[in-house]
Every structure is written in structure tokens, then in C-alpha cells.
Structure 1
Amino acid sequence: MSEQQQQWTSDHLVRQEYVQLYADQIREEYRAQAADFRRLADEVRRDALRDPVEGDRWLHQRWMHARQLSRGLRQMARHAELIVAAAKQLEVDHRKVRVELPAARADRAVARARRKQQRLAERQAQKALGGPSGVVGRAVEHTTGTGPAAQDEGQQQTPAQQPATPFSALFKDAR
């Protein structure tokens, strides 16, 4: 971003290097602010302990009033630290959505096209051999064991001829 442009816009946050620059600037600024807030909170608490409110007892002075005075600054420090974490998450999310997602989609499209070509080549080979084609033909080949996989192995596949056990028979011994 040039010196002439003073304000970031969404148009700047389209490119990865600008998002990274913006996130770095935000992290640097809010880390410094968080450190300042913590330092100020510690100073306010020490001052409140040194100079208690008239009529305070020791417990009130230490745990209630001193802590109460520094609480707002500590909350501001926590919020600044959350902004630092959110700036890092902005960078990560941008990389996932703008860089990695299109690459993953392109990889999936290539794999899908490769599978489609492979299925087309298998169908053309099936038609050339004169065998059954389509889903029904593949199902028949699978159940009978006459498909190209079975022919390559030189053996026919037979389904297991074991009778199914009735469901009620499973619980007879449990009684």
C-alpha cells in the first residue's frame, strides 16, 4: 500500500500479500496497545495500594478497590490480544479460501476427469469384447464372476453359500 492511500478498503484485501501486510500492521499496533494497557493496569493497581481511599481496611484496599480500578485496563488488554489473534485468523482464512480452495477444486476436477476417462475406456473395451454394458451388465458380471477381473485371475468368483442365522437365534443362549 502506498503512502498516499491512508485507509484500507476491501479492494486491497483481495491479494494475499496485502492481507498479510494488513494483518501484520494490525498485530503490531494492537500488541503494543495490549502491552501499554497491561503496564498501565499494573501502575494503577500499585498506586491504589500505595494511596488507599480514606477509611479502607487492608482487604478492601488490596482486593477490592485496587483490583476494581485496574480491571478495565486489563479487559482492554485482553480485547487487544483477541484482536491480534483475529488478525492472524484473517490471514489464515484468506489463504484457505483464496489460495488453497481453488487449488483443491482444480485437483478434484482433474481427478474427476481422470475417473470419467477411465470409465469411458472400460465401457469402450467392454463393447469391443462384445460383453454386456452398463450398470446391469457390470452387476451380472460381478455376481456370476465372469467379469474382466475374474478372467484375469483365471478363476470364477462364487458367493458364499452359508445360510443366514436368524436374528432370534442369537439370543437363545442369553436366557
Structure 2
Amino acid sequence: MSREEVKLPDLPVPTALDADEEAEKNLTTAPEVPVTPYTPSAVTPWSQDSGVATLTADTAPGTTVPVDDLPIAVGVPEGADPAAIDGDWKVDLAAPAASQDAGVSGMIMRVTPPADADPAAQVSIAVDTAGFADLYGTQAAARFGMVLLPNCVMDSPDSGDCAADGGTTTMSG
């Protein structure tokens, strides 16, 4: 069989229809919705301060205890033994300028456990970002996380592993 021998079926003849008198004839686009530019409101940085939160053997797992007037709370993780971490937990919160000097977008804090806390035990840390949620851009609080930094970030940012030629390397090289 060649191309010249292909026989196609006859196509049906189109039938004209009368216009639908009830159909909408004035079609338009949706009304324009004004876009309000986003204005960040939660841009007040935290203040350098220290505080203590006391966890007791009666602290319920899955709950946190505020650290004085800091935007930080410490607590007992779900399924953990509160007796392993009971005592006074001290939190030192560095000033925003210290974060900038260290190249950290966010707060730097030191969490000091009680002397008799089990070193293998875990503790929950919660940060209330309501006051500075927009400080690092729109919805920045949704992207925040926790990173363990060397002690020199708080103690001596220009020496040891924190020095410009120190032992730390960035992920980009």
C-alpha cells in the first residue's frame, strides 16, 4: 500500500446552530484586586541579657519554662526524664551587634546546664520570635533554626577557631 492508496473516511458535514439568546455575551475579566505591599512590623531586635529557668523533677515532658524576661524557654523533651535535667538552666543572650560581628543572622546564646545534669540528656529550647520575626526578611522566622557554635563566638570572637585564619571553614570553601 502506498500513500496514494490511503482511503480516509468521509468527515461529517458540520451543522450550524442557532445562537443561545440566554447566554452571557458581555464577558469580562475578574475585578482587579489591589496588592498591598508588605510592611514588616516585627523588627525590634532582642536585647543582650541573661536569665535562669528552673526545671524540676515535676516538670512535665513536652513543656517549657520561660527564662526570666528573655524570648527563650527551656524544657523537657517528650519522652525524656525530667529528673535527668532538673535544676537551674542559665541562658546568656548576646547583643544583636555580636551576631552581626560573628556573621550570624540571628541570635547567639549560651545555654549553661545545672552542674548535676546528665551530660547525655537532652533539653528543649524554644525561641519566641514574635518581636523580631521580620528582622531578617519576610517570614524569616519560618526559616530559623538552631546551630551549635564554638564557645569563642561569645568569649573571644577574634581568637582561636573564631579568628579570621582560625580552624573553621565555611561550607562554600
TM-score (structure 1 length as normaliser): 0.21
Instruction: Name the structure where helix makes up a greater proportion of residues.
Output: 1
Instruction: Name the structure where strand makes up a greater proportion of residues.
Output: 2
Tell which structure's C-alpha radius of gyration is larger: 1
